[in-house]
Amino acid sequence: MHYIRFLKPPRLLGGRRGNAPSVLKAKVTVTTDLGESFLWANVDLVVELTDGTGKRVLERGKGYTWKGSEGMRSLEVELFIPAFRGKESGGMLRMLVRPKEDFLAVENSERILGDSNEHEDTGKMGCVMAVRSMAIEIPSNQSLPISTTTSMAERTFRFGKSEIHIWEETGESIARHIWYACTTQNTHRDAGLLLSAYLASISDPSSQKASPQFPSLQRTLFQKDLKIIELGAGCGIVGITLSTFFEKQISQILLTDLPEASEILAQNLSPLSLSSPSPNTSNSNPPKISHQVLDWSSPLPQNISETKWDMVVVADCTYNPDVVPDLVRTLARLGEASAGMLVLLAMKVRHDSEMVFFELMVQGGFVVLEKCKMALPVLGGGGGGGGEDIEVFVFAVG
């Protein structure tokens, strides 16, 4: 999977004379989730101007081609904003950069899970994820030169009937992308996205699409009054997906990470970000979703150690063998007070050193109940090879 990212978020340059249009300029790149590898293939991109909600397209800008085959690493894009657009949209506009071809777009769970029937030829070829800037204020006096920058960008996923909105940091010092902190720690976040798409797909028990099956996981997820904790939640995509799609079953869901992730988690858990209608709209008692700092190298905070958790979720957190012992210790401490607790883990294995996690889990008394490999198609072969695998495990305390 590849991601369009703002290297330089859109800057508004004011029309200097009379009613000259303003222009939004940005610099984008297209990389793998880690950002360690640029897209090698050529892809046509479209830049669009939307209203402040991001939902209504106001202007279609000119097309661009990402020339990956020629070694392109960044691309400057711009959008002209007619003066009336600023007024019409209440002064707030956003830039959307997306692949031109719909079959390359990645925003729905069928595409992420690679089981789209619509495009049999293209469904398995990998995709490119669009990015939407923050809202940019267009001042009413267009003669002023303005330079406005923004520091976050949004990804939108359509899982079934619901949309999930996840903000991430943007700009050249990318620290908290959706795969928060992985750019320096050599890991990936495709696992969290694929796990989220899978969880959304099994939330409707009548749907025949969801494969593979995880009977223990599915049994647990359809119980009542579930308490779920996520470790290393990053931007929170998995926890937010769970709280959206298992709203009737979950009473409490706590997303935890290091203090550096608190700001982006707060943003993604804000009522505005979570406002997308849930598929289970009839629930008058939505799950209590919150975030808290939990460092695996520290003892569990009292409120966490005193709660009986039904499930722990861990996505893309096993890549650093140095912190894996702390992670497993944290899982064991959580399991001490929580008989019957399941651990749901998703990972993209890159190095043999990651296998130490499994040895430590066995020593910690965990057993694998269910496991499965899901294929992730990669456009242009990614960093080597035609695709990648995401592995999903369900553990129980033995």
Ligand X SMILES: C[S@@+](CC[C@H](N)C(=O)[O-])C[C@H]1O[C@@H](n2cnc3c(N)ncnc32)[C@H](O)[C@@H]1O
Interacting residue ranges for ligand X, rule: CB under 6 A = 178-182, 187, 189, 191-192, 232-234, 237, 257-258, 261, 294-297, 315-317, 323, 326
Nearer to ligand X, 45 or 361 (CB): 361
Q: Is 3 left (phi over 0), alpha (psi -120 to 50) or beta?
A: beta
Nearest approach in angstroms of CB 239 to ligand X is: 9
HSE, side-chain direction, 13 A CA sphere, residue 365? 14
Asked if 324 and 356 count as a contact pair (C-beta separation under 8 A), the reply is: yes
Backbone angles phi, psi at 258, to 5 degrees: -70, 165
Nearer to ligand X, 38 or 180 (CB): 180
Nearest approach in angstroms of CB 43 to ligand X is: 23
Using Cβ positions, the residue closest to ligand X within the complex turns out to be: 192
Asked if 114 and 123 count as a contact pair (C-beta separation under 8 A), the reply is: yes
Nearer to ligand X, 50 or 196 (CB): 196
Nearest approach in angstroms of CB 232 to ligand X is: 3
Q: Which of 172, 182, 147 is nearest to 25 (CA)?
A: 147
Nearer to ligand X, 28 or 193 (CB): 193
Residue with tokens 């006096």: 141
Nearest approach in angstroms of CB 109 to ligand X is: 16
E-strand spans in the chain? 2-13, 22-31, 42-51, 57-67, 75-81, 92-99, 128-129, 131-133, 136-137, 152-159, 162-169, 226-231, 250-257, 288-293, 311-315, 342-347, 366-377, 387-397
E-strand spans in 126-234? 128-129, 131-133, 136-137, 152-159, 162-169, 226-231
Nearest approach in angstroms of CB 331 to ligand X is: 12
Nearest approach in angstroms of CB 161 to ligand X is: 23
Asked if 28 and 97 count as a contact pair (C-beta separation under 8 A), the reply is: yes
Nearer to ligand X, 315 or 341 (CB): 315
Nearest approach in angstroms of CB 184 to ligand X is: 10
C-alpha span between 128 and 32 (Å, rounded): 9
C-alpha span between 93 and 203 (Å, rounded): 34
Nearer to ligand X, 87 or 371 (CB): 371
Asked if 252 and 207 count as a contact pair (C-beta separation under 8 A), the reply is: no
Residue with tokens 């080597």: 384
Nearest approach in angstroms of CB 251 to ligand X is: 22
Nearer to ligand X, 39 or 182 (CB): 182
Question: CA 97 → CA 46, 60, 132, 346, distances in Å?
Answer: 6, 10, 6, 29
Question: CA 303 → CA 231, 258, 314, distances in Å?
Answer: 15, 17, 19
Nearer to ligand X, 93 or 317 (CB): 317
Nearer to ligand X, 114 or 192 (CB): 192
Nearest approach in angstroms of CB 28 to ligand X is: 21
Nearer to ligand X, 133 or 318 (CB): 318
Asked if 330 and 297 count as a contact pair (C-beta separation under 8 A), the reply is: no
Backbone angles phi, psi at 353, to 5 degrees: -60, -20
Nearest approach in angstroms of CB 319 to ligand X is: 6
Determine the longest span between alpha carbons in the chain, in angstroms: 74
